[in-house]
Chains A and B, each alone.
Chain A
Amino acid sequence: MKKNNLKAWLYLLPALVFIGFFMIYPLIDVVVYSLEEGFNSVSQTSFGFGFYNFSYVLHDSYFLQAVKNTFILVIITVPVSTVLALLISVGLSSIKKFREWFQTIYFLPYVTNTLAVGMVFMILFKKTEYSEGLMNMLLRWVGLSAVDFMEGPYWAKMFVMCFYTIWIVLPFKILVLTSSLASVNDEYYKAAKLDGASGSKIFFRITLPAISPMIFYLVITGFIGAFKAYSDAVALFGTNLNAAGMNTMVGYVYDMLYGEGGGYPSYAAAAALILFAIVLTITVINLSVSRRRPSL
């Protein structure tokens, strides 16, 4: 085929313009911002060029709180949601009746507005002087005392946050795992049954190895997604996440950029780059761990 250089670039032009302005240039610019010490939007000046922004962010107690929150969220929700999704998918694959019904219901959280449904969760967990809320009613039923989930102790707020996150991320994982389970070759199962293998043996020797690439994929995207948690937290605890003590790393970036206490793209850039470095490191570790497995 002959080369039609000009025409090809013409077709690519719109994409290149958009990507150039809103992806490539910002990518370079964010590094520049992160090195312009103490740059703020009001005065448009910085007091030097170097790594002060990173040191400022790493010494900011709000950032450290955000890092702590984010790490707890990641460590709890990624394993729990993956295992839960696996159990549910295996259950789904083993039944025939009502399967489509279950699948449809399980997928619903994916298509809901995170902010809107988060408010329902807030109502369910909230405790005011007029009403203890539904969750506390359930706690009373089993003989426990009421807890202020939304404005009370740290672990209670973290519990709500993790619960909501898992509720939100499960649809995608269940969907991916069910379709992955459906694609496992039936011959293996037939052969195993002929050999009289037990159910658990079939699961660990056939099913799990066959879908392990998908599980690793879900773990990696799960890590990335959980590290970028933000709007779920806003939905539950409102926009002032620092006051609630529930800020996330992404939330810190946006708070530095905009709103009360914002106007510091320099600090926001430094925090965003630190977040990116963490996510990249963990992704690389995940990939190298999964490569070492013989089954892949």
Chain B
Amino acid sequence: MDEKLTVNQIRMKSSRKTLAVRIVTYVLLAIWALIVLFPFYWMILTSIKDKAMYNAEYTPKFFTLEPTVENYATAFQAANLARYFLNTLIYTLITTALMLIVIILAAFAFARLNFRGKNILFAAFLSLMMIPSELVVITNFQTITNWGMRNSFMGLILPTVTSVFYIYLLKENFESVPDRLYLAAKLDGASDFKYLCKVLIPMCAPTLFTITILKIIECWNSYVWPRLITDNEAYYLVSNGIQEIRENGMGRDNIPGMMAAVVVVSLPLIILFLVFRKRIMAGVARGGTKG
């Protein structure tokens, strides 16, 4: 009896302990969730605060009883927000589309075609992955300037099209498709190109989708190259636009207006993320880098 009691006591003790651990875990996780969410809350809150009321707050208030959408109207009128948006959209779509064509063709050559020097070339490609963009940006800046492509979409797009890493990722994926499908297609008299379009691309659609999303995120957030290559506001992307708003526009005296612009700029990617949450997270876990 005695022994059984102690066993029960131990059990109770340990279950109490796990309960405590669980509660602490949830509290800590919730705190970090709060730290992550708070800036988003604050940006939306500030964007719907009345400008005069915001400026009168010596101590910031955590809520507002008189929300207004006026700041959003101001953001679109005072700043060229719509233009930045359109530019980013054009830039993102063209860059991503061009990249897909380039990497699909290259990955196919590496995965399915046989040619002299293939292994050496592929090794050379892989070693290029180690090259940081900071090293090549200096000459690219000079090249684009010499070609007279500053302040143009061509200048923005061309140097950012290729990605060695995505060629590598896609080549691995293409190779995982069984050889016999290729041979069967050949027997049917299908050309390589037809096989690529009708068999490989559909079968590797998930990977292509992941790459597309990652590239869209990268394009939408790109700041450094657009800043170097554009000084005409007509070609600003959202990142540069928001920086311009901050330093020479509403950032000086209209914080709620600036926050409205920040919300508008942040929203597309957040929506994209919430819609494709699982695939984006799986894709980043496999092929993403940041930090």
Contacts and interface: CB of A to CB of B under 8 A. Distances in A.
A234 B136 contact: no
A3 B114 CA distance: 5
Contact of A113 (B105, B192, B266): B266
Nearest to B99: A18
A32 B40 CA distance: 46
A111 B162 contact: no
Interface in A17-59: 18-19, 21-27, 29-30, 33, 41
Nearest to B125: A19
A221 B289 contact: yes
Interface string B36-47: 110110110010
Interface in B1-47: 21-22, 25-26, 28-29, 32-33, 35-37, 39-40, 42-43, 46
Given A3-B115, A113-B239, A168 B136 contact: no
Contacts of A9: 109, 115
B138 A257 contact: yes
B97 interface: no
A242 interface: no
B121 to A, nearest CB: 8
A107 interface: yes
A150 interface: no
B36 A257 contact: no
Contacts of B40: 108, 117, 120
A11 B108 contact: yes
A234 to B, nearest CB: 7
How many of chain A's residues touch chain B, expressed as a range?
35 or more
A27 B258 contact: no
Interface in B160-177: 161-162, 164, 167
Interface of A is mostly: helix
Contacts of A257: 137-138, 141, 228
A33 B262 contact: no
Nearest to B238: A113
Interface string B123-153: 0010010011011111111110100000000
B22 A95 contact: yes
A268 interface: yes
A296 B125 CA distance: 27
B132 A120 contact: no
A245 interface: no
Contact of A22 (B158, B221, B289): B158
Contacts of A104: 274, 277
Interface stretch (B65-73, B202-210, B240-248): B240-248
B228 A113 contact: no
Given A88-B32, A110-B290, A257-B228, A132 B192 contact: no
A132 B269 contact: no
A226 B289 CA distance: 12
B262 A114 contact: no
B185 interface: no
A241 B239 CA distance: 17
A108 B101 CA distance: 30
Contact of A167 (B36, B140, B227, B228): B36
B188 interface: no
Given A3-B116, A23-B162, A91-B28, A11 B106 contact: yes
A95 to B, nearest CB: 6
A168 to B, nearest CB: 7
B113 interface: yes
A52 to B, nearest CB: 17
Interface in A54-106: 81, 87-88, 91-92, 94-95, 98, 102-106
A179 interface: yes
Nearest to B288: A172
Nearest to A3: B114
Contacts of B277: 104, 107
Interface in A247-285: 250, 253-254, 257-258, 265, 268-269, 272-273, 275-276, 279
27 contacts: A3-B115, A11-B109, A14-B105, A15-B167, A22-B158, A26-B139, A26-B143, A27-B131, A104-B274, A108-B37, A110-B217, A110-B288, A112-B269, A112-B270, A113-B220, A115-B242, A116-B262, A124-B42, A134-B60, A168-B290, A172-B289, A172-B290, A224-B132, A231-B223, A257-B228, A258-B141, A275-B132
